Structure 1
Amino acid sequence: MRLTKFSHSCVRLEQDGSVLVIDPGTFSEVEEALAGAAAVLITHEHPDHIDVDRVVAVLAGNRSVSLWAPQGVADAVAAGLGDAAGDRIHAVAGSEQFSAAGFEVRTFGGQHALIHPLIPVIANVGFLVGGAVYHPGDSLIVPDGIAVGTLLVPVHAPWSKLAEVVDFVASVRAPRAFQIHDALLNETGLGLVEGHVTRLGSRYGTSFRHLGVGEGVDV
């Protein structure tokens, strides 16, 4: 499976000629990431994880693309598409399994990490794709009962702190890890956070490395 990193939390997965994209949001290169895609997975409704207008435009122009997302996101995309939605917009929650464009997908969690007690908690679904790549969205939910091959690590967010990020990496113990949710950090901050994740994650068997925008790797 080929993984390509786009800005912030957007990644593109390619295997056997099929393309699946996770979280094409407002900080990301939506149209480039979705070029040729057959499936889109959305972890939650925040704009940095789905640019609704641009995703709807892509799906309206290509009726072979299907989307899986929490109920609220699925409803918003379906409303934007109108009659063009058909039966290709799917609502998902945690603890489900489905096939998307030939990729086997499992879901974990169910809610967004707490930002502040005064801010309502929304739905968030983590996706394990092909039994290998885990994208947690805006959560640090450790998938149970499986061995993750490649972990996508939200390295910085208003809802997290470094200790929690390191504990997440140590708990999952994936052999490989790459960063997501990195658009809010400048080069100095990113280097500091990733340095800690690299050094401490290695104690638990995880090899972490930074992927540049547009950089791909086989996983």
Structure 2
Amino acid sequence: MEVTKLEHACQVVTDGEARLVLDPGGLTRPVDATGVVAVVVTHEHPDHVTPEQLHRILRANPGALVLGPAGVAAALADAGLPVEVVTDGDHRTVGPFTLDFHGARHNVIHASVPVVDNTGVLVGGRLFHPGDAYTVPGVPVEVLAAPVGAPWLKVAEMMDWIAAVAPRRAYPVHEATLSEVGFGMHVDRQREALGDGGDLVVLRPGESLTI
């Protein structure tokens, strides 16, 4: 299994000829992948999903499923995009991918900003993408897609969360809100949070990691 990081939150997981797309939002390049069996959308914010991205993926992969929490289904209904609703504790198998879902709510941005549904996904029992939440799945995580910058993110909380999940490896995602200097500073804190037993891999957009 291999994960390719695109810009910001979007990632493409490949197993053989099959692909799984995670969070194809508006801050990444147009996703033109073929062989896509499923798209997982963790929540409805446009940096994680846009109708344009999903329509493009589904035109190229008409049999692909779109999975996400209830808020995603409601947000995409007017665009004619069917979403199979998943939430915390659900399990699905799509093609070669086993998908276990963890968490139910987005991290708080501010008291004035509504908290939306957010459900992270553990792919193949190995790769955990949390969306925009500090969800600790309560099961071993080999590789963690770790948000590194966001309006809701506090560095101290980010470090505590990474330490609690305790993955063997992690790579930073959700970087579009940061300058290069800020990205480097936050990545250093992620590396510290992993400790001596973990490895942080910085993937630039388009780079891949074998899992």
Matched, 1:162 2:161: no
Any residues of structure 2 matched to 1:34-113 within 5 Å, and which? Answer: 34-81=33-80, 85=82, 89-113=83-107
**Cα pair 2:143 2:170 within 8 Å, conserved:** yes
Mapped to 1, the partners of 2:192 and 2:80 lie a distance apart of: 46
Equivalences, count = 211
Quote the residue 2:173 is aligned against.
Answer: 180
Mapped to 1, the partners of 2:171 and 2:56 lie a distance apart of: 29
Alpha-carbon offset, residue 30 of structure 1: 3.2
Q: Which runs of 4+ in 1 moved over 4 A?
A: none
Mapped to 2, the partners of 1:74 and 1:60 lie a distance apart of: 19
Amino acid at match of 1:23: D
Alpha-carbon offset, residue 36 of structure 1: 2.9
> Which structure features the higher share of helix residues?
1
Structure 2: segments with no counterpart, 5+ residues:
none
TM-score, normalisation: structure 2: 0.94
Quote the residue 1:206 is aligned against.
Answer: 198
Alpha-carbon offset, residue 93 of structure 1: 1.2
Mapped to 2, the partners of 1:99 and 1:76 lie a distance apart of: 24
Alpha-carbon offset, residue 63 of structure 1: 1.6
SS in 1 for 2:121: strand
TM-score, normalisation: structure 1: 0.91
Structure 1: segments with no counterpart, 5+ residues:
none
Alignment deviations for residues 16-44 of structure 1 (CA, whole Å, 9 cap, x no partner)? 22100100100012323x33312100000
Alpha-carbon offset, residue 74 of structure 1: 2.2
Identity %, equivalent residues:
35
